Structure 1
């Protein structure tokens, strides 16, 4: 029996790969890198380096300089080394703003993910007509320019003519008739949070609905046959499939909220008394507002470093998930 097997194996022609010959036509040689994917990515990578890399480099060089009105008028460059960074890191106000930015980001991202996920699950449950109507409303809210949306919310929460104060007064909350929503820290943050959640929910909802369409219906049917209720089907079927979506979307929302400038600045310019400044607004106020451009550049570089640390933490989570899946 073994002799016959050896004879058959010896008589069988060797494959091209075992003879060291070329692979079959149309099939790339294993282990050989293909240049086409890199060529396709090259234009976008070059444009990114040109638009962002050069700007980041100039901003980094500026952070090592003392650049103000006097230097601009005299066209001189005063290198100060790490003075801008040491002054920023030793300033207690910087750490207050950093902590405020962290808390602001955490609250907003939590609200965005909860409301967005609930809206996305609602889209999956609705009929075709209502789903189309809700999807259209979400896309319109998502497509509205940031400055236009911020202006609308300024009108809604206006002290004298705002719709919100008028409705609250009509509902019996007469003390809110002339309430100044931007008069203190918490109420200003409340307006900004409502604005950010309203702008971000469509992205999360639409993507979550798209993710739910990839889940095989047979899994839900099998879970139902096993006697699983709605909550059990959600935790045992839906959540495992949506875990990569949650990680990716949460990470994108953290970056978007942490670096948002327009909404925070346009509502009340970081006021009152600079109590609602986040790191991007703080960098603008120290750089453009105080005419100390080197300090503003240093703060912006430190903001990027914080975002890179968050990115590294996210990549660790993704790699850990991939290891667990294996």
Structure 2
């Protein structure tokens, strides 16, 4: 007579407090730790020194002598916040950011939608051109736009002069800040559109074709199809790119500095240019540091809004 095998002990599931569970939870933090340490060393230390400098009064005397500057508390911030010119620069920076981001995202969305409709070889050609523009150094792009808008030999003045009744002979685009910022905005948008376009086109490839086909069967066309079907799918990528563009455009420095030959007038000051000029042109190092700290705090506010948008979209999904 066969005896029944003894019952096998059941394997109990690991409790949350088991050693293996702790290791699994700690693994992501261990993987990201080298990156966080590198960022702390490269960015954290200078940021701490910047904040400390904003509470001091550093002059060339302390800089050359190597002595510690005196502590002045919130004096730099009080001086900045009571300066009308500072708020003028903040408003100009905000307006500049809104215009650049709006134009960039509008053009990038249009080009991405166009790339979706053309033949594959045209799409590959467009992608190659976008990558080439994206790879162009800012110095080269600024030199090209300075040549295009040159007062005496600029192509833009020549082309606009061909219009009936238009005379742009010897027109200086930077004599009027509104005209000058138009050129600077074009430089910024020119360099930002490739990244935004490629990212949005990648997001558009994830839109299910059957979803759009079903919407067309139901009668959706054009703008209605894009607003109700296509855009909700690509919204996370759109929000991410918009936030990145806002952060980059808020801190624009190189384009203005290069387009004005390293000597921008006060009418062309944005927060980045203002901070640099205060520190290294006027030698008010602590004042420039305080402006830089305020700029970082404003960018952090934008980053928090961006993260909240992502979290909300994650909850909805």
TM-score using structure 1 length: 0.88
For 1:48-100, what per-residue CA distance to the aligned partner results, in whole angstroms no more than 9, with x for missing partners? 11111111111112112211222223332222121111111111111111011
How far is 1:173 from its partner? 5.5
What residue in structure 2 maps to residue 7 of structure 1? none
- The alignment status of 1:38 with 2:33, answered yes or no, reads no
Q: Is the 8 A contact 2:108 2:193 kept in 1?
A: yes
Q: Does 1:276 pair with 2:271?
A: no
Kindly indicate whether residue 11 of structure 2 is the aligned counterpart of residue 16 of structure 1: yes
Alpha-carbon contact 1:182-1:272 (below 8 Å) kept: no
State how far apart, in whole Å, the 1-side matches of 2:286 and 2:246 are.
Answer: 27
Which SS does the other structure have where 1:275 is aligned? helix
Superposed, 1:174-253 pairs within 5 Å as 174-253=166-245
From 50, 60, 80, give the equivalent of 2:51.
60
Query: What 5-or-longer segments of structure 2 have no aligned partner?
Result: 1-6
| Aligned residues between the structures | 310
Alignment match, 2:78: 86
**Deviation for aligned residue 1:162:** 1.1
Contact 1:84 1:295 in 2 (8 A): yes
Alpha carbons 1:84, 1:294 under 8 Å: kept: yes
Deviation at residue 133 of structure 1 after TM alignment? 1.1
Counterpart mapping for 1:162-173 below 5 A: 162-172=154-164
What's the secondary structure of 1:33's corresponding residue? Answer: helix
Secondary structure at 2:40's aligned position in 1?
A: helix
Contact 1:270 1:281 in 2 (8 A): no
Q: Please give the alpha-carbon distance, in whole angstroms, between the structure 2 residues aligned to 1:93 and 1:210.
A: 43
Give the equivalent residue in structure 2 for 1:48: 39
Q: Distance in 2 between matches of 1:130 and 1:14?
A: 65
How far did 1:317 drift? 2.2
Provide the C-alpha distance between the structure 2 equivalents of 1:93 and 1:113, rounded to a whole number of angstroms.
30
Quickly say closer, same or farther: Cα 1:288–1:16, change in 2 above 3 A: same
RMSD across aligned C-alpha pairs, in angstroms?
Answer: 2.4
Contact 1:101–1:278 at 8 Å: present in 2 too?
Answer: yes
The alpha carbon displacement at 1:13 in A equals 7.9
Contact 2:105–2:193 (Cα < 8 Å) also in 1:
yes
Find 1:102's aligned residue among 83, 89, 94: 94
